[in-house]
Each structure stands twice: as structure tokens, then as C-alpha cells.
Amino acid sequence: MGYKLKKIINKAENVVEEMLHGMALANPALIHSEGLGVISRKEKASKVGVVSGGGSGHEPAHAGYVGKGMLDAAVAGNVFSSPDPERILEGIHQANGGKGILLVLKNYSGDFMNFTMAADLSGMDGIDVEHVIVKDDVAVEDSTYSTGRRGIAGTVLVHKIAGARAEEGGSLLEVKAAAEKAIQNLRSMGMSMSACTIPMIGKPGFVLGEDEMEIGMGIHGEPGINRTKIKSAKEIAKILLDKILDDYEASGIEMKNSEVALLVNGLGATPLMELYILNGEVHAYLAEKGIRIYKSLVGNYMTALEMAGCSLSLLKLDEELKKLLDAPSEVPGFSVSYGAVKTCVK
């Protein structure tokens, strides 16, 4: 018996452009450059432009973070595929306010090659371009798509920090420095309970048993650390946080008595009910460790189509990062809530 593709689409080859078209219609402050896979701010500003992007299928990343206070443009490739340099070059031009461009990349080989090539082409056009590379996933050192650690949902926090610094008038090097500080203090790890189906392929990319989960799986279905029986929310919180906190310690970053931003991210098919249950367990566990949650983000921030699962991200904060995280933003895909005081260590 064959696999029947069940998705609300027209033709599989048109999903990216039709998705971007619908997003722009829902958000009048955005412009869709038809045929080029670019979403940009309608209101242009004379400041450093912040541009990100990558393969589609991770919505609301990346186009959902375009707007005042975050990205100036996002470039979408095909599902789970890097956009080509021509598309990225268009995104750079759309975001160019005359003060230079910062590219925020996730650490995947195709993204690095194509974004840096577009940066070189932009230099020929007289546009000053810098880039940063997010590699927040502590699960594995190398993966199917990357040399070195993968970039996953913590990238959204880098968008926020860099966008806020650019919005307040920082120079290109100052915006880059803020983004680099966020990257250095950022750690993430995820898990999955089911596969996802790329429309052009039409069947799941892998199989997990009904009672199985995979720890450390990537946002494209890359293998993680191990497969195990389904665990409780409390156990999942401990497994993911222990690996994250061990990595901070190995990097020489002291976490006890620190303040963090927490991102509890759904991969597309996990109900908010479950993410909020997990959030409660994360708050309790971090309180035991003497770590205060300054702000919580719970929801679908960087998905993997309809994959069931989640990731946790921690960003260790100082006063500068707090201020940039608190700065206002007007984008479709980003919202923040304050951590529950009763679970925070004073």
C-alpha cells in the first residue's frame, strides 16, 4: 500500500512561492519579491540591514521574523534546501539602507557557500556585508548537512538581538558584535517523535516506532544521539537541559545564578498543550540548578514541516542582551512572555 500525501497544497513545486505570497497578503508591512523567494520590509530604513534565510519548511522561520526590530529581509530556498546566491543577492539589495548588511546564517554547508558567495557579489556592487554563523545545537559535532554543529531554533534569538541593535542605530561592526555575543552564549538541543514529509518527495524521510523518540535529531531529520522509548515531559526536560548545561560548563561558562532567555520550540506537530507542560518542567529544573528565567518563549518558532517534537534553547543574558531582547519588534512570528517569578531563583 503506497503512501498518500496529505497536505493543503496545489502543486508541490509551487509551495514556497505560494506560501510567501500568502504570508505577504496576511502581513501588509511585508513585500514578496515574486519568483525570487524574498520577503522584505515595505518600510525601508537608513540603518544596517539584517538578512537571514535558508531552506523552507521551518516556518515561521525565516520570513516570519521580517519587520521592525528584527530582519529586514529573509530569503527562502526550496524545502530543506539553501536558496541560491541570486536570491540571496536580491535579499541583500532589498535590505540595503546604505549602512551595510549583516547576514545571519545557520551552520549548514549549502547556506554557508551560497550566502558567502552572495556577500562577495554584493561587495562588487559597493555594499559592505558581514556575516555570523549560528551553531547552537549541542547534540552532535557534525551532521548530514553541516561540518561542525548545526544551527537550529536558537537562531531566532540571534535575529532578535541583531535586529534590535541595528534598529537603535548600531554600526555594522556593532550589530555583528551583538550577534556574536548572543551566539557565544546560546545553546540548544531537540528531540523528535515522528518524521516529516517533503512535498516534492511525497513520503516520510525516516521511520520512528510508535513508542520511540530520537534525542538530538536535527530540523531536517538528521540523526541525533540515540533512539529510546518515549519519556515523560519531566524526563525530556532533564535529558535536553543536562546536555545543554554540560556544554556551557565545558565551554567555561558559569550558569549558576545566571539569567537566561528560554525558548521552548515546537517542530510543527506538537500541540501547545505539550509545549506548555514541558515549559513548566524546564522552569522547575532550572530553578533547582540556580538559574533564573528572565523571559520565556513557547511556541512554533523554527519547525520541521509537520514533525512532532521540540527543542530547548537557552541564551545566557547580560544587561546588553537583556536590553536588546526587550526592545520592541513588529514581526509576524515573534512573541515573548516573562518567566514565572515563583519558579525563578532570586
> What does each C-alpha distance from 212 to 62, 180, 196, 296 come to in angstroms?
30, 37, 15, 28
Secondary structure of residue 346 in the 3-state scheme: coil
CA-wise closest residue to 312 among 222, 240, 257: 240
Catalytic residue among 93, 159, 220, 283: 220
Torsion, CA 174, CA 65, CA 106, CA 38, rounded to 10: -100
Distance CA 226, CA 223 (A): 8
| Residue 21 bears catalytic tag | no
Distance CA 187, CA 240 (A): 10
Secondary structure of residue 314 in the 3-state scheme: strand
Helix (H) or strand (E) holding 50: strand 49-56
Instruction: Kindly write down the DSSP assignment for every residue of 249-301, as one continuous string.
Output: HHTT---TT-EEEEEEEE-BSS-HHHHHHHHHHHHHHHHHTT-EEEEEEEE-S
Say which amino acid occupies 60. Answer: P
Burial class (CB in 10 A: 0-12, 13-18, 19+), 308: buried
Catalytic residue among 58, 93, 159, 283: 58
Say which amino acid occupies 229. Answer: K
Are 225 and 192 contacting, i.e. CB atoms less than 8 angstroms apart?
no
Order of strands, sheet of 259-266, starting from the edge strand that comes earlier in the sequence = 226-229, 212-215, 186-192, 309-316, 259-266, 292-299, 337-338
Q: Which of the residues are catalytic?
A: 58, 220
